[in-house]
Amino acid sequence: MEPVLAADPYGWLATSLQTIHRAHWHRSVQPLEGLPGPVVIAQGQPLVNFASNDYLGLAGDPRLQAAAIAAIQQYGTGSTGSRLLSGHRPLHRQLEKALADLKGTADAIVFSSGYLANVGTITALVGQRDLILSDQYNHASLINGAKLSGATVLDYRHGDTQHLRAQLTQHRQQYRRCLILTDSVFSMDGDLCPLPAILALAEQFATMVLVDEAHGTGILGPTGAGGVEHLGCRGRPLIQMGTLSKALGSLGGYVAGSAELIDFLRNRASSWIYTTGLTPAATAAACRALEIVQSEPARRDRLQQHIHTLTAGLDALLAHPSPHSPFGKRFPSDSPILCIEVTNASTVMALKQRLMAQGLFLSAVRPPTVPTSRLRITLMATHTPEHLDKLLGALAAVAAAEDCDGGMG
């Protein structure tokens, strides 16, 4: 019998959107004007920016702009082809060498985004006969790369190396290769992975490890090399990936590791082979950013000072909340990402709006991105002490508020 078909094959979209709205999960974009920085303009209003990944304040830096402009004048706006065909420029190799230098690895490869770096690398390294063990709070690009690879994927509890060990003990032997995936700095929490313990397990169980340094590169470690350096794991056998689009103020992703690994990826990573090479402008800006990361450690120091100040301030204001405070705990953090738990998704959205009316721009993060709603604050080296005072003042008023439920139904 022929099935009875609905008249409109796209009709389900409206129904789906209604469901998303009802759950307070609907998202939309917010245009910002002007250069990125600690203060941005939205709808003509200046906002102190606590929602950017531009941790070192480099995305608007005149030196990166000048490098990008010079590259455009020399090489044009597009790279015109994939790296293996017509899209390879001397600038790409220069950037890859600089990344390998920073990371202390034999080589590196740049992708068009961090997302593509994860998807391409994971799908190249493992397949149906293999096992992936993945921290439950990993970034979506790791999760989706794992799914696409066709490997068996098991999540382990966040940061829980006992659980990871149990899974390795139970399952490792049934598979050919095994790959552990973890963020170094978890993007929606701000805490670090227990990398030394993970590497010890990896050695014991003959397992590869890919660590995502998207929020570590340029920020953590004595030379700004990232969480791997900060956690004393430089030089260990490891696949380090990251992005050029956060602390490095540009666009693109990379993988750093052994010469064999990088050569293999050039031959097997589809998201590198079948896509256009990074633009000359993005490549040159990232190169300039890496020089600044190395020559201006004071930026990292200032960022660390801001982390101390804000952490102490948040802990003071969360210590004795009013009974009506919408805030729960502060999430443990070792990074410029600081999050405060908020009772539910509609409250966190209302809070974001209220803070915006006071000239503060924060992220409201909700399910399904995270299990519990939270206000997410990211710090920049270029914030001033006054910016932090303003934020703490506004959050203290919220924590002491009498009218939270009425004002934020």
Ligand X SMILES: *Cc1c(COP(=O)(O)O)cnc(C)c1O
Q: Write down the least CB distance from residue 244 to ligand X, Å.
A: 7
What is the number of alpha carbons within 13 Å of residue 230 lying toward its C-beta? 22
- The C-alpha atoms of residue 65 and residue 56 are separated, in whole angstroms, by 15
Stretch that binds ligand X, among 107-115, 284-292, 316-324, 388-396 (CB under 6 A): 107-115
Residue, CB closest to ligand X: 114
Q: Which of 130, 183, 189, 191 binds ligand X (CB under 6 A)?
A: 183
Check binding of 249 to ligand X (CB under 6 A).
no
Check binding of 254 to ligand X (CB under 6 A).
no
Q: DSSP of 238-296, one letter per residue?
A: -EEEEESSSTT-S--EEEEE-HHHHHHHHHH-HHHHTSBPPPHHHHHHHHHHHHHHHH-
Distance between alpha carbon 400 and the CA centroid of its chain, in Å?
Answer: 32
Check binding of 114 to ligand X (CB under 6 A).
yes
Instruction: Answer yes or no: are the C-beta atoms of 112 and 260 closer than 8 Å.
Output: no
Q: DSSP of 138-189, one letter per residue?
A: --HHHHHHHHHHTSEEEEE-TT-HHHHHHHHHHHGGGSS-EEEEEESB-TTT
Closer of 141 and 167 to ligand X (Cβ): 141
3-state helix, strand, coil in the chain (%, to 5): 45, 20, 40
Q: Write down the least CB distance from residue 44 to ligand X, Å.
A: 28
Q: Write down the least CB distance from residue 220 to ligand X, Å.
A: 13
Residues numbered 226-245 forming contacts with ligand X, rule: CB under 6 A: 243, 245
Check binding of 75 to ligand X (CB under 6 A).
no
Check binding of 99 to ligand X (CB under 6 A).
no
Q: Write down the least CB distance from residue 212 to ligand X, Å.
A: 5
Q: Which of 161, 187, 283, 363 binds ligand X (CB under 6 A)?
A: 187
Closer of 339 and 404 to ligand X (Cβ): 339
Binding mask 137-176 for ligand X (x = CB under 6 A): --x-x-----------------------------------
Check binding of 215 to ligand X (CB under 6 A).
yes
- The C-alpha atoms of residue 151 and residue 264 are separated, in whole angstroms, by 19
Check binding of 113 to ligand X (CB under 6 A).
yes
How many residues of this chain bind ligand X (CB under 6 A)? 14
Stretch (H or E) spanning 391: helix 385-400
Secondary structure class of 390 (helix, strand, coil): helix
Closer of 186 and 361 to ligand X (Cβ): 186
- The C-alpha atoms of residue 367 and residue 379 are separated, in whole angstroms, by 23
Binding stretches for ligand X (CB under 6 A):
113-115, 118, 139, 141, 183, 187, 212, 214-215, 243, 245, 253
